[in-house]
Amino acid sequence: MRIHWLVFFCCLPFGCFAATYPLPTAGNVIGQILTIQAQGGDSLFDIGKKYDVSLADMQKANPGLKKKRLSRDDTVTIPTEYVLPDGNRKGIVINISELRLYYYHPNTALVSTYPIGIGQEGWATPVANTFITDKVAGPSWHVPESIRAKAAAEGKILPTVVPPGPTNPLGEYAIRLNLPGYLIHGTRNPNSIGERASHGCIRMWDANVEELFRLVTPKTPVNIIHQPYKIGLKADQILLESDHPLTEHTENSQLSIIASAILQMMASAPFEINWDQAEKIANQANGIPTAIGNYGTGQSCSFC
């Protein structure tokens, strides 16, 4: 059963748009799945944006709602529960397989999370451990020669520099990384969030990148990872959150990766897993943390 739950929105000094959660004192899962009744004329995009969920994730969570405009009797699932990625909870963590960015606030036990757009096939966003070098309000876009050449081959002539303004694809804010040519920036195409649509940069909705811009400082660490299968611990449940691996990152075996993560996490606790359920959730790749077992009690889960 899905329960109604109010997302915790943090009021930071600069205002707040992102979904911000207290870090769990036990386990590694934040948020809850929400269900709401649509209002006449709502769209999945409009509803998702209110909760910082991309249209792509809203569509995966609501496969039966294909229509562009919803009716008042439509029940909408909002996938606002997340397993925190593995690794250090410091600075920015970008999970490119999830198309989501996590920002761990310094000196406080809070994490904000934002949907993102990443590099399209052939222009992949790299996996890297880097940091912020600079922040620019009203950035100019220095168009890479590779992009100008591709555009020219399609009969389009791009300038070498696009000045700040409404035609600049970087939006109003850019955060430079210690990766030449890669930025975190806004977008003139809000529908590209949740998609592989950029030339390698990380795109954010304008309100979100403005907020992140004001929160981060140079030298903030940025860890870009590819983690399509995340194992969550919540109460006595083991959860699996699965997204499709990106095509440039091959996975030898879904279950072997999942099993290895579970064994590592459960090294000192009894657990029981329904492996058929784990394989099903891995293949669904809907990004919703789902129970696949129990731990800590030595007893099986109800479906194991």
Q: Could you tell me which CATH class the domain 34-79 is placed in?
A: alpha beta
41 pLDDT higher than 60 = yes
Give the fold, CATH level 3, of 91-225.
L,D-transpeptidase catalytic domain-like (2.40.440)
Counted residue by residue, the chain has a size of 304
Q: Tell me what pLDDT residue 141 has.
A: 84
Of the chain, the percentage scoring pLDDT greater than 90 comes to: 72
- Render the burial of 255-275: b for 16+ CB within 10 Å, e for the rest: eebbeebbeebbeeeebebbe
| Residue numbers annotated as active site | 185, 201
Residue 137: alpha-carbon gap to chain centroid: 24
Structure tokens at 155: 């009969």
Q: Alpha-carbon distance 117 to 35, whole Å? A: 25
Contact yes or no for 116/203 (Cβ under 8 A): yes
Q: Three-state SS for 146? A: helix
Give the residue-averaged pLDDT of 186-190.
94
The model's pTM is 0.90
Q: Tell me what pLDDT residue 13 has.
A: 38
Bridge partners, 294 (sequence order): 237, 272
The DSSP symbol for 200 reads S
Q: Alpha-carbon distance 175 to 92, whole Å? A: 12
Most confident region among 63-72, 110-119, 151-160, 264-273 by mean pLDDT: 110-119
What digits encode the pLDDT tens for the residues 5-17? 334 444 443 344 4
Contact yes or no for 282/255 (Cβ under 8 A): yes
Q: Tell me what pLDDT residue 131 has.
A: 98
Q: Tell me what pLDDT residue 297 has.
A: 61
Structure tokens at 98: 């999830």
90 pLDDT higher than 90 = yes
Q: Where are the domains of the chain?
A: 34-79, 91-225, 229-295
Give the residue-averaged pLDDT of 210-235.
97
Centre a 10 Å sphere on the Cβ of residue 129 and count the other Cβ atoms it contains: 12
Q: Alpha-carbon distance 67 to 59, whole Å? A: 10
